[in-house]
């Protein structure tokens, strides 16, 4: 699904050149659950922004479903991103004055689906994260875990090829964080490709493969024995 070869990212401020990624190479197959780990400043967030089509590399090769991302215009990237990518952020990024159902329907605004179809898709996504009874609630009426579950439903509503989760448990207590990781693991088991960006070892243990970055370079890329939850234990 994803092919990355000799990827670099540099930022120039006047005469100062900052190298963030230096020759990163790896592939990700459809259906994988990959954790990208690294300390602050390692380049993992920059790498996620490039992989999630929010930014472009300075050089190298990045192909997503055999499309060369570097050659795409900003408009082409935006359209491709809307169809192929779902994002889950640490800060949830929900619209405060919009209820749960309408928040989840947001990615479908330009889909061209009839209103009834959009609502069916949103309801299905919310049911999959255990929020079918919170449709009319607003974000400030939800717990942190429920807000993140709403964000996950929004991320999967249009059936993207890959889910990017950027520190998804960072603003949650341990119990809510575990529930979020259970959901991501369940989605992966259902066939979703999941790419998790984290600095926390316990969240990376839910993945099946861990890529570690340091100073903009990959220092390890290993398959791991992922920690699994009890069958049918989701949100129980």
Q: What is the pLDDT of residues 182-195, one digit of tens each?
A: 999 999 999 999 99
Residue 228: pLDDT band with limits 50, 70, 90: low
Domain residue extents for the chain = 29-59+74-232
More confident residue, 228 or 156: 156
User: pLDDT band at 226, cuts 50/70/90?
Assistant: confident
Q: Which residue has the tokens 């993207």?
A: 160
Query: Distances from the Cα of 153 to the Cαs of 61, 132, 162, 222, in angstroms?
Result: 31, 11, 14, 29
pLDDT tens, position by position, 31-88: 999 999 999 899 999 999 999 999 999 999 999 999 999 889 989 998 889 889 999 9
Return the pLDDT at 232: 45
Helices vs strands, H then E, count in the chain: 7, 10
Asked whether the predicted pLDDT for residue 229 surpasses 70, the reply is no
At residue 92, the pLDDT reads 94
**pLDDT above 50 (res 1):** yes
- Tell me which fold the domain 29-59+74-232 belongs to: Rossmann fold (3.40.50)
Q: Degrees (nearest 5) of the Cα angle 92, 180, 30?
A: 95
Name the pLDDT band for 169 (thresholds 50, 70, 90).
very high
Altogether, the residues listed in the chain come to a count of: 236
Q: Is the pLDDT of residue 24 over 80?
A: yes
State residue 234's pLDDT score: 42
Q: How far apart are CA 23 and CA 2, in angstroms?
A: 16
Mean pLDDT (the chain) is: 92
Which tens digits make up the pLDDT trace of 73-95? 989 998 889 889 999 999 999 99
Task: Provide the pLDDT for residue 231.
Answer: 47
Distance CA 126, CA 35 (A): 25
Residue-level pLDDT at 230: 44
Residue 52's pLDDT is 94
Rounded CA-CA distance 212/189 in Å is 23
């Amino acid at each position: 699904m994803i092919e990355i070869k000799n990827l670099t990212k540099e930022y120039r401020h006047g005469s100062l050149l900052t190298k963030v990624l230096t020759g990163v190479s790896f592939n990700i197959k459809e259906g994988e659950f990959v954790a990208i780990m690294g300390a602050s400043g390692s380049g993992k967030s920059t790498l996620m922004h490039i992989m999630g089509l929010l930014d472009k590399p300075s050089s190298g090769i990045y192909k997503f479903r055999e499309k060369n991302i570097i050659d795409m215009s900003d408009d082409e990237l935006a359209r491709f991103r809307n169809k192929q990518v779902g994002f889950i952020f640490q800060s949830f990024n929900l619209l405060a004055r919009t209820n749960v159902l309408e928040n989840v329907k947001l990615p479908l605004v330009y889909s061209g689906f009839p209103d009834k179809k959009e609502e069916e898709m949103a309801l299905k996504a919310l049911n999959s994260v255990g929020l079918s009874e919170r449709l009319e609630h607003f974000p400030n009426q939800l717990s942190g875990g429920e807000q993140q579950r709403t964000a996950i439903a929004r991320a999967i509503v249009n059936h993207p090829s890959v889910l990017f989760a950027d520190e998804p448990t960072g603003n949650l207590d341990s119990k809510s964080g575990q529930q979020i990781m259970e959901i991501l693991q369940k989605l992966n088991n259902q066939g979703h490709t999941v790419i998790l960006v984290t600095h926390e070892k316990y969240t990376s243990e839910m993945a099946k493969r861990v890529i570690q970055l340091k100073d903009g370079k990959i220092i390890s890329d290993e398959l791991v024995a992922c920690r699994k939850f009890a069958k049918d234990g989701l949100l129980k």
